[in-house]
Amino acid sequence: MLIINVKEEESIDRALKRYKRKFQSTGVLKELRRRKNFTKPSVARRNEILNAVYRQEKYGDQ
């Protein structure tokens, strides 16, 4: 659970912005979306390899 301490003269908008930033940095939403659909380990590995090949072709020959 995230805890945000709101200071005395701090506006609620600024505290909410800090909360959103902290929430995004923890990666909770990304993890929930990843767990929603199961991908087989072989498919995940193949996607990693294909992405690496794409990055190498696009950015590796500089």
Predicted TM-score (pTM) of this structure: 0.54
DSSP H helical ranges for the chain: 12-26, 28-36, 41-59
Using alpha carbons only, how large is the chain's radius of gyration in Å?
19
Most confident of 25-29, 47-51, 58-62: 47-51
62 pLDDT band, cuts 50/70/90, is low
Q: Is the confidence at residue 51, as pLDDT, over 80?
A: yes
- For residue 19, give both structure tokens: 């909360």
Residue-wise pLDDT for 4-17, tens only, equals 889 889 999 999 99
